[in-house]
Amino acid sequence: MNRDNIVLFAGNASQTLAARIAQQLMQPLGFIQAEKFSDGETRIEILENIRGRDIFLIQSTGPPANEHLMELLFMADACRRASAKSISAVVPYFGYSRQDRRPRNTRGPISAKLTADLIETSGISRLITIDLHADQIEGFFSIPVDNVYSSPVLLGDIWKQKYDNIVLVSPDVGGVLRARAIARRLDNADLAIIDKRRERANKSEVLNIIGNVDQKTAVIFDDMVYTAGTLCNAAAALKEKGANKTLLMLHTQFYQGLQLTELRSQSWMNW
């Protein structure tokens, strides 16, 4: 791919990130207009000639997920109809990734699969994302998917701080494989699991801590946080089990009413 042939477009959800990427690449952002009609519908217009160009659309699809997802799809469709050579979507936060399967005894959709279908139909030829909530989502696509892991960056901070007696804590059973892989990179650190029960959407209860965390530095890697209720409960449970300190490593922003003061009240860094 010829660097001079690249055009970067920023969606409304990722303006700051797009500006930083453009700065690193010493590449100006392309001219695109993303606004709303009076009835709330999304309006997209490409304001430059992109015929034969390699397009990169930078747009997370986090809250409001529907609005940001449709904006991404319309941006891609506009680029396709403007005869772009290729369209790559940089989607750090992949919305609907928690709905990667149909829960047992329900009649719900597999929203992550439908989202993948919509992305492909819009004309996007490659997806670049960070820490998919479920690895199987990559298999929902027939186009190339680059699932970039944030753990090397986050691990760098742990190594720099030289924490002793670390135990990796998986926030749920589904994150055990990821936590085990990270633990191996920390000199085969011990592993613990937060056993929780989900009562309803965005509401769960910590039942138990599986594993020994006594007199250890507990490190939780998580890919998405909404209300922080589970994390605060987990912090309390880890403290009760004897953890000296709890570190929370996140790659996403805080969403849906997460109060930083609530996390700070748990004294994450001072146990």
Domain ranges of the chain: 3-148, 151-264
- pLDDT (0 to 100) of residue 9: 99
Token output for 78 = 């506009």
* Distance, CA of 171 to CA of 209 (rounded, Å): 10
- pLDDT (0 to 100) of residue 204: 64
- pLDDT (0 to 100) of residue 158: 82
Burial classification of residue 101, based on how many CB atoms lie within 10 Å of its CB (0-12 exposed, 13-18 middle, 19 or more buried): middle
CATH number for 151-264 (one of 3.30.530.20, 3.40.50.720, 3.40.50.2020, 3.10.150.10): it is: 3.40.50.2020
- Evaluate whether 55 touches 125 at the Cβ level (below 8 Å): no
- pLDDT (0 to 100) of residue 270: 42
* Distance, CA of 141 to CA of 160 (rounded, Å): 37
- pLDDT (0 to 100) of residue 266: 57
Q: Do domains 3-148 and 151-264 have the same CATH topology?
A: yes
pTM: 0.85
DSSP 254: B
What residue ranges of the chain have pLDDT lower than 50?
258, 269-271
In the set 113, 196, 216, 245, the catalytic residue is 196
Nearest to 189 by CA among 158, 152, 161, 160: 158
pLDDT digits (tens, 9 = 90+) for 143-171: 999 999 888 888 888 888 888 889 999 88
Which residues, in sequence order, are CB contacts of 43 under 8 Å at separation 6+? 33, 34, 35, 36, 37
Which residues, in sequence order, are CB contacts of 89 under 8 Å at separation 6+? 56, 57, 59, 72, 76, 119, 124, 126, 127, 128
Question: Which fold does the domain 3-148 belong to in CATH?
Answer: Rossmann fold (3.40.50)
Active site residue 196: yes
